[in-house]
Each structure stands twice: as structure tokens, then as C-alpha cells.
Chains A and B, each alone.
Chain A
Amino acid sequence: METEEQSEGLAFHPMDQFKIQPLFNDGPIHWYTITNATLWMAVVLLCVLALFVIGTRGRAIIPSRIQSVAELGYGFVHKMVEDVTGKDGLKFFPYVFTLFCFIVFSNFLGLIPGAFTTTSHIAVTGILAVAVFLTVTIVGFVKHGTHFLGLFWVKSAPLALRPILAVIEIISYFVRPVSHSIRLAGNMMAGHAVIKVFAAFAPLILISGIGIAVTPLSILAIVAMYALEILVAFIQAYVFTILTCVYLRDALHPGH
């Protein structure tokens, strides 16, 4: 009983929100084309500027509200880096803080209805994760030379098991950037897609009598998912950042 009207009304395009589109023309997307992704990355940059530069311009001993938030973010990541990687990891703090700021602002800005979520794209999170992977590997070899390979040679295990463990450790080491990036992009994409699916059910009341039951339920579900996504937006940024710290600790202190 699929009528024309219903198939028009119930349009399911949960992935359309992730499409990358040029902002100013409909031409092909070159590497320099200004797209919606560019726009929202620029918004992230503006938010960082607003919070951490304009927000702290008073340099007040007794901070204003916005300066408190900036200091809170600073203290949160600073403590994370110091606790996980130790004092010598603090020289990576600006790098880790950059990652955290980019991800947390992208995630939250993506929750604005109609916004584009840059961190829902595997290209973006993949680059972030590969950058961390390369940083960790290079720092590990520069600091410890071949001793860094000791990371894969588990000295606490029985000798017979060590080669097997080494294979597992090496595989897990190279899988790190994959899981690191897909975890973030997958979480972002899934949450937004689910919200979109529920949103597609919401106008059913205009088409069919069954909408009387479905529409309120779907709106309720959107609200619930949205609340969950707010949580996820922060938690995924936190997880990405703390995993970066954990990997950095491996590079700085490779002993198990």
C-alpha cells in the first residue's frame, strides 16, 4: 500500500547530512574548494579564538565566567597529559590540546541542527589518528632508538610466549590508528544518523493516522538521542585525547 504521497513524505536520507558540498558553486570538489567542511572547521577555529583568546584577554586573577571555562579546559587537558604521560610529556601538551579542542568543538558544533560534523568523516579522524600514530612512532624511535621495539617484547611473559605476544603486540600497534579514528567517526556518524532516522518519522502525523502515536514517540526519541549525543560528543573527545596520551606514554616510557 505504498502510495506516492507516503514515499514522498517519508524520505529516509540519514546519510545526506554527511555530504560534502561546495559552498559557493556546484562544481567539482577540488582540494582547495571551500566546502561545508571548510566552513565548520573555520567555525571551530573561531570558537577556539573566542574562548581561549578573547575569553582570557582580561588576564584576571579572579576570572570572568568565560575565562573560568577556558581555564577549566586548560586544566582538564593539562592534568590529563601530566597524569598519563608524566612531566616530560608536557611538551606535547599544546599538540594534545589542539586535538582536544578541534574534536570537542567539532562534536558540539555538529549537534547544532543543520550543522555539518567534520569529525563524522573518516578522512578527518583518520588524519588525526595517523598524525598521532606517526608522532608516537617517531618520538619513540628518536628517544629510545631500537629500545623502542622493546614495547613489543613483553619481558614479564614466559620466554616461549614472547614471540607470539610480539606478533599480537605489533598487530595491535598498527591497528591503533584504525580503531582510534573509526571509534570517533563511527560514534559521531551513528548518533547523527539515528537522530535523522527518528526525525524522518516525525512528520508522519501529516500523512497518516498512525502518526498520532508515532510522531510524539519519534520526537521523544530525538530528544533522548540528542541528550545522549551531547554526552557522546564530550566523551569521544575525551577518549580520543586520553588515548593519544596513553600512546605518547608508550613512546616516552616504552617499558611495560
Chain B
Amino acid sequence: MANTTTEVAEAAGEIAGQAADAAGQATQSAGMPQLDFSTFPNQIFWLVVALVLIYLVLSRIALPRIAGIVADRQGTITNDIAAAEELRAKAVEAEKAYNKALVDAREEANKIVAEARVDIGKDLDKATAKADAEIAAKSAESVKRIDEIRLGAARNVEEVAREAAAAIVSAMGVKLDAKTVDSAVTALLKE
């Protein structure tokens, strides 16, 4: 076990050494390509071309378009919020109007009820008065008729009494004229 560990360590050391050697060779043979000045004009030329093209694409097409999109979105959001606010205000107003209409309707109904009550009261009073008058007229007539009937009955009693007195007197054989009998009966009835 310890043996293999040392072997591994040795091998790793070797590889590291080789790596260092190889790296050294590489720098010796090639150097840094970054410092190869013969390629600089080429790189700079193509870099300038690329940058100018990217700049033109971005500043002429892409950036104004994206700025427009962002502004449009902001505008849409602002408008939507404003519209929502307006609709909310309208809803509040509508509710207010509804409540007001409700209150008005209730008042109107109360008024109508009160008026109807007054009308009905008037009609009732009129009808009551009419009925009272009719009742009074009828009872007065009845009283008159009763009086008539009573009077008629009293007259009949007087007649019957007179005839009966005349018949009783003639039956007793006393001859009396009708006048005398009448006055005598009247006088008796008055007592």
C-alpha cells in the first residue's frame, strides 16, 4: 500500500516535470501568439470592421427598436392603469347613482302611500257621512210611520169605543143621539 503511494507520488512528480519541460518547449518554440506583432494589423483591421458593423446594427436598428418596445410597454401599462382607475371611478359613480335611485324610489313610494292613505281616508269619511245621512233619513221616516200607525191605532180605539158605547146605550133602551154619545166618549177618553 505504502509502496504504491510512493510510486504514485514519483509518477506524478515525473509528469509534473514533463509538463514543465513541455511548457518551456512550447514557449520557446512558439512564444505567445498574442505578442506576434505581424498579426496585429490583421486583427486591428477586422476588429474595427466588426465594431463598426456591430455599432451600426445596434445604433441604427436594434437599440431604437428596443427603446421603442420598452416605451410602448410603459405607455401601455400607464394607459391600462389610467383606464382601470377611470373604470373604478365610474363603478363608484354608478353605485352612488344606484343608491340615490333606490332612496328616491323609496321616498316616492312613501309619498304615494301617504297620498293613497289620505285619499282613502277622505273617501271613507265621505262614505261614512253618506251612510249616516241615509241611516238618519230612514230612521226619521220609520219614526214618522210609527207615529202614524200609533195615531191610526188610537183613532181606531176611539171609533170602536164610540160604536161600542152607542150599541151598549141603545141596548139599554135609552135613546140618545150620536152627538151626545160622541162627546161623552171623548170626555171619558181624555180622562
Q: How far is the CA of A189 from the CA of B35 in the complex (A)?
A: 12
Tell me, yes or no, whether A101 is within 8 Å of chain B by CB. yes
| CB pair B65 A121 closer than 8 Å | no
- A31-72 vs B, Cβ < 8 Å mask (1 yes, 0 no): 111010110011011001100110010011101000100110
The residue in B42, B55, B72 that gathers the most chain A C-beta atoms within 10 A of its C-beta is B42
| CB pair B42 A35 closer than 8 Å | yes
- B29-64 vs A, Cβ < 8 Å mask (1 yes, 0 no): 011111110111111111111110111011101110
Tell me, yes or no, whether A171 is within 8 Å of chain B by CB. no
Tell me, yes or no, whether A214 is within 8 Å of chain B by CB. yes
Q: Given A61-B76, A123-B39, A189-B34, A53–B61 Cβ distance below 8 Å?
A: yes
Tell me, yes or no, whether A108 is within 8 Å of chain B by CB. no
Tell me, yes or no, whether A30 is within 8 Å of chain B by CB. yes
| CB pair A123 B55 closer than 8 Å | no
| CB pair A124 B43 closer than 8 Å | yes
Residues of B within 8 A of A20 (CB): 33, 36, 39, 42-43
Which of A12, A29, A98, A101 makes the CB contact (< 8 A) with B22? A12
Q: Which residues of chain B from 10 to 43 have any CB-CB distance to chain A below 8 Å in the complex? A: 11-12, 14-15, 18-19, 22-23, 25-27, 30-36, 38-43
| CB pair B34 A121 closer than 8 Å | yes
Tell me, yes or no, whether B152 is within 8 Å of chain A by CB. no
| CB pair A123 B40 closer than 8 Å | yes
Tell me, yes or no, whether B69 is within 8 Å of chain A by CB. yes
| CB pair B53 A16 closer than 8 Å | no
Q: Inter-chain contact count A-B, CB under 8 Å?
A: 167
| CB pair A31 B58 closer than 8 Å | no
Residues of A within 8 A of B30 (CB): 13, 15-16, 19
Tell me, yes or no, whether B68 is within 8 Å of chain A by CB. yes
Chain A interface mostly helix, strand, loop or mixed? helix
The segment from A3-11, A134-142, A159-167, A223-231 that touches chain B is: A3-11
Q: Taking the nearest CB of chain B, how far is it from the CB of A118, in angstroms? A: 7
| CB pair A31 B45 closer than 8 Å | yes
Q: Which range holds the interface residue count of chain B? A: 35 or more
The residue in B12, B22, B38, B47 that gathers the most chain A C-beta atoms within 10 A of its C-beta is B47
Tell me, yes or no, whether A2 is within 8 Å of chain B by CB. yes
Which of A15, A67, A98 makes the CB contact (< 8 A) with B54? A98
Q: How far is the CA of A56 from the CA of B65 in the complex (A)?
A: 8
Tell me, yes or no, whether B73 is within 8 Å of chain A by CB. yes
Q: Taking the nearest CB of chain A, how far is it from the CB of B80, in angstroms? A: 10
| CB pair A210 B11 closer than 8 Å | yes
Complex: chain A residue closest to B69, CB-CB: A59
Q: Taking the nearest CB of chain B, how far is it from the CB of A202, in angstroms? A: 12
Residues of A within 8 A of B40 (CB): 123
Q: Taking the nearest CB of chain B, how far is it from the CB of A237, in angstroms? A: 14
Tell me, yes or no, whether B143 is within 8 Å of chain A by CB. no
Q: How far is the CA of A59 from the CA of B68 in the complex (A)?
A: 8
Q: How far is the CA of A80 from the CA of B138 in the complex (A)?
A: 112
| CB pair B46 A41 closer than 8 Å | yes
Q: How far is the CA of A189 from the CA of B32 in the complex (A)?
A: 10
| CB pair B50 A45 closer than 8 Å | yes
Q: Given A18-B34, A20-B36, A37–B43 Cβ distance below 8 Å?
A: yes
| CB pair B22 A102 closer than 8 Å | no
Which of B8, B15, B55, B65 makes the CB contact (< 8 A) with A95? B55
Q: How far is the CA of A70 from the CA of B62 in the complex (A)?
A: 9
Which of A15, A32, A61 makes the CB contact (< 8 A) with B73? A61
Tell me, yes or no, whether B66 is within 8 Å of chain A by CB. yes
Q: Taking the nearest CB of chain B, how far is it from the CB of A83, in angstroms? A: 17
Q: Taking the nearest CB of chain B, how far is it from the CB of A113, in angstroms? A: 18
Q: Can you identify 5 A-B contacts, CB atoms within 8 angstroms?
A: A13-B30, A52-B57, A56-B69, A61-B72, A127-B44
